[in-house]
Amino acid sequence: MPHAHRALVVQSARTGAMCELSWSGSMWRATWILFLSFLIQSTQAQDDVPPYFKTEPVRSQLHLERNRLVLTCMAEGSWPLEFKWIHNNTELTRFSLEYRYLIPSLDRSHAGFYRCIVRNRVGALLQRRTEVQVAFMGSFEEGEHTQSVSQGEGAVVPAPRIRSFPQPQVTWFRDGRKIPPSSRIAITLDNTLVILSTVAPDAGRYYVQAVNDKNGENKTSQPITLSVENIGGPADPIAPTIIIPPRNTSVVTGTSEVTMECVANARPLIKLSISWRKNGVLVTSGLSDFNRRLTILSPLVGDAGFFECEALLQSSSVPSVSAGAYLHVLEPPQFVKEPEKHITAEMEKVVDIPCQAKGVPQPEIVWYKDALPIDPVKMPRYRVLVGGSLQVNGLLPDDTGMFQCFARNLAGEVQTNTYLAVTSIAPNITAGPSDSTVIDGMSVILHCETSGAPRPAITWQKGERVLASGSVQLPRFTLLESGSLLISPSHISDAGTYTCMASNSRGIDEASADLVVWARTRITTPPQDQSVIKGTKAIMTCGVTHDPSVIIRHFWEKDGSVINVQSIPRMRLDADGTL
């Protein structure tokens, strides 16, 4: 690595004379390294612990716009742990020691799925995702709307569109008066206003008031003018029609309730009856709103089926009409078979990592190694078995690491993990430390890169003193993810022999190097401003302390220009720097 040239300069304020001390050497480094030190009281080196999550995040969380949000990645394992944050599969940060992600002021663009990745020298883990929802309310579309309907028919008046999360609570008004549901008035699940068997007095101006119950905002829409056309006699019967049919609906087990609706029109409306069937069997419970709604409390998987509503005009020969839809009850994934937290296997053998899950629909199984998805097409030694387990053939040292099984369906996701250690490979230090020299107060890195299975635990010692390992961390001594040792800042007392020890179940390998710490060169007696009589002698001092191993040279400058003492007979530069 090239070394920068540095100079220390002291200038006389009055005369402009300047003493410059310059040197070059391997002690200077061009890059400062940001580090974090932890003081761990334990002094006994232990095996490296794979990363693991102390807690999993909630599946979803709702926040208000402009609020501050802090996401935390609660993980533990052998130090150092590094963290990365992902939003909707896009990386937000690089790996760092920061386990939190801060959004100072939320807006709706921050909504989505977040997760973190944690890693250490053993491997990496992908956290279960959490959905961040941001409550907001926009404005109704501008402009008035008009709508007409024939007398006796059903008027379907959709609520004016407004962007909001969550969906607002909507109240309908007509000419300033609230419209309550009745035998002739239905307000659907999506807030559509339905006026059945319309008559001339139903004409008027309608509008809605929307309230977001999370942030408290409320908005009022522009009016919708409804006109009723007088076509046919007011007593003429109208055959039943289903104007709001049931819709296919999905719900997750654990939800408090689910509702299906069916709104029909006929004349005379008083003789209209609505009935429900599930898979052809008459349903008599859970009906409300003049049988227009069917509600199932705490739905279970067994409540799923085909629901059909039938509209019949009693005492009439007019045939009935019906419409139906499916209710799907989803069940979040649950593991029925998980791997042990630690699996040991020998090189060139075959290992099966179990993972099976149940749920509705049947969960998809996705495998990850060290937080990266496993693609069996690109990695032919990896094969996902029919039940979801992962088979690894012809084990190699690089197969050592963290394996995660994610089970996902429309209702959610769960994850389980294991550490696979491929044994029979003793530690080997592939790039050990080399003798180094550093200036007092600067940073220095002693390298130690290793191979082996299981991955060797690294311990750094100076003499018999343990400086850094997976469980020991002294101030100024930082064990990097690569296994190297960062000393920052260095002290004179740090000089000595350092040993990197790599160990696993197969043995130990070690490598040593000497560190020389030079004392920093300083000007201790700078030149002083002085006045002398013309023609007399002037003496200017430049006293220096430095490491005995360093050869120094003295340079004097006057008004920014170097003085060539040899070319000026009136000047003399002494060995101690005095001019």
The answer to whether 415 touches 130, Cβ cutoff 8 Å, is: no
282 located within any domain? yes
Residues 6 or more apart in contact with residue 560 via CB below 8 angstroms = 16, 18
Q: Are residues 68 and 94 in the same domain?
A: yes
Q: Are residues 258 and 274 in the same domain?
A: yes
Share of the chain above pLDDT 90, in %: 72
The first and second tokens of residue 196, run together, are 């059945």
Looking at residue 268, its pLDDT comes to 92
Q: What is the CATH number of the domain that holds 155?
A: 2.60.40.10
Q: Are residues 302 and 349 in the same domain?
A: no
pLDDT score of 111 more than 70: yes
Give the span between the Cα atoms of 567 and 171, in whole angstroms. Answer: 98
430 located within any domain? no
Q: Are residues 357 and 412 in the same domain?
A: yes
Q: Choose the weakest-confidence range: 393-397, 409-413, 480-484, 533-537.
A: 533-537
**Residue 363, amino acid:** P
Burial class (CB in 10 A: 0-12, 13-18, 19+), 555: middle
Listed residue (263, 123, 141) closest to 210, CA to CA:
141
* Inter-CA distances, 475 with 54, 122, 488, 520, Å: 26, 23, 9, 21
The last residue of a domain, from among 372, 388, 423: 423
Looking at residue 478, its pLDDT comes to 94
The answer to whether 486 touches 473, Cβ cutoff 8 Å, is: no
Listed residue (579, 441, 436) closest to 522, CA to CA:
441
Looking at residue 36, its pLDDT comes to 28
Looking at residue 21, its pLDDT comes to 34
User: Between 85 and 79, whose confidence is greater?
Assistant: 85
Encode pLDDT of 348-386 as tens digits.
Answer: 889 999 999 999 999 999 999 999 999 988 999 999 999
Question: Average pLDDT in the 83-100 region?
Answer: 96
Looking at residue 437, its pLDDT comes to 93
DSSP code at position 302 = G
Q: Give the three-state DSSP class for 520.
A: coil
pLDDT score of 43 more than 60: no
Looking at residue 579, its pLDDT comes to 61
Looking at residue 115, its pLDDT comes to 97
| Helix (H), strand (E), coil (C) string for 111-163 | CEEEEEEEECCCCEEECCCEEEEEEEEEEECCCCEEEEEECCCCEEECCCCEE
* Inter-CA distances, 84 with 69, 92, 96, 183, 242, Å: 17, 8, 7, 57, 53
Q: Are residues 199 and 122 in the same domain?
A: no
Question: Average pLDDT in the 538-552 region?
Answer: 81
> Binning pLDDT at 50, 70 and 90, where does residue 143 land?
confident
Question: Average pLDDT in the 106-124 region?
Answer: 96
The last residue of a domain, from among 355, 390, 423: 423
* Inter-CA distances, 167 with 124, 136, 223, Å: 39, 10, 20
Mean model confidence pLDDT for the chain? 88
458 located within any domain? no
Based on C-alpha coordinates, what's the Rg of the chain? 39
Q: Choose the weakest-confidence range: 15-19, 302-306, 516-520, 528-532.
A: 15-19
161 located within any domain? yes
pLDDT score of 39 more than 70: no
Listed residue (173, 156, 55, 71) closest to 112, CA to CA:
71
Q: Are residues 343 and 416 in the same domain?
A: yes
Parallel, antiparallel, or unpaired for β 449-453 and 372-373? Answer: unpaired
Output the furthest CA–CA distance in the chain (Å, rounded). 136
Angular region, 409: left φ>0, alpha ψ -120 to 50, beta rest: beta
pLDDT score of 232 more than 80: no
483 located within any domain? no
User: Could you identify the residue written with the tokens 């501008």?
Assistant: 142
Looking at residue 84, its pLDDT comes to 98
Looking at residue 3, its pLDDT comes to 34
Listed residue (266, 294, 251) closest to 410, CA to CA:
251
Burial class (CB in 10 A: 0-12, 13-18, 19+), 260: buried
Q: Are residues 132 and 67 in the same domain?
A: yes
259 located within any domain? yes
Share of the chain above pLDDT 70, in %: 91
Q: How many CA atoms lie within 13 A of 521 on its CB side?
A: 24
pLDDT score of 9 more than 60: no
Q: Are residues 298 and 347 in the same domain?
A: no
157 located within any domain? yes
Domain residue limits at 362: 338-423
Q: Are residues 22 and 63 in the same domain?
A: no
> Binning pLDDT at 50, 70 and 90, where does residue 15 land?
very low
Looking at residue 8, its pLDDT comes to 31
Number of domains observed in the structure of the chain:
5
Give the span between the Cα atoms of 535 and 529, in whole angstroms. Answer: 18
Encode pLDDT of 408-435 as tens digits.
Answer: 999 999 999 999 999 878 899 999 999 9
CA 313 from chain centre, in angstroms, equals 57
The first and second tokens of residue 197, run together, are 């068997």
Looking at residue 30, its pLDDT comes to 30
The last residue of a domain, from among 170, 200, 229: 229
Q: Are residues 244 and 288 in the same domain?
A: yes
User: Between 551 and 324, whose confidence is greater?
Assistant: 324
Question: Can you give the length of the chain in residues?
Answer: 579
Give the span between the Cα atoms of 151 and 199, in whole angstroms. Answer: 5
504 located within any domain? no
Question: Average pLDDT in the 316-323 region?
Answer: 93
Give the span between the Cα atoms of 462 and 512, in whole angstroms. Answer: 9
Question: Could you count the other beta carbons within 10 Å of the beta carbon of residue 314?
Answer: 11
Looking at residue 235, its pLDDT comes to 67
pLDDT score of 292 more than 70: yes
Looking at residue 425, its pLDDT comes to 81
Parallel, antiparallel, or unpaired for β 6-11 and 100-103? Answer: unpaired
CA dihedral (463, 467, 472, 475) positive or negative: positive
Looking at residue 522, its pLDDT comes to 81
> Binning pLDDT at 50, 70 and 90, where does residue 520 land?
confident
Q: What is the DSSP string of 228-271?
A: EE--S-TT--EEEEEEE----EEEETT-SEEEEE-EEEEESGGG
Encode pLDDT of 451-491 as tens digits.
Answer: 887 789 999 999 999 999 988 889 999 999 999 999 999 99
Looking at residue 236, its pLDDT comes to 77
**Residue 398, amino acid:** D
pLDDT score of 7 more than 80: no
Q: Are residues 100 and 153 in the same domain?
A: no
Q: Are residues 102 and 177 in the same domain?
A: no
Backbone angles phi, psi at 74, to 5 degrees: -85, 95
Parallel, antiparallel, or unpaired for β 224-229 and 145-150? Answer: parallel
pTM: 0.68
Encode pLDDT of 236-264 as tens digits.
Answer: 788 999 999 999 999 999 999 999 999 99
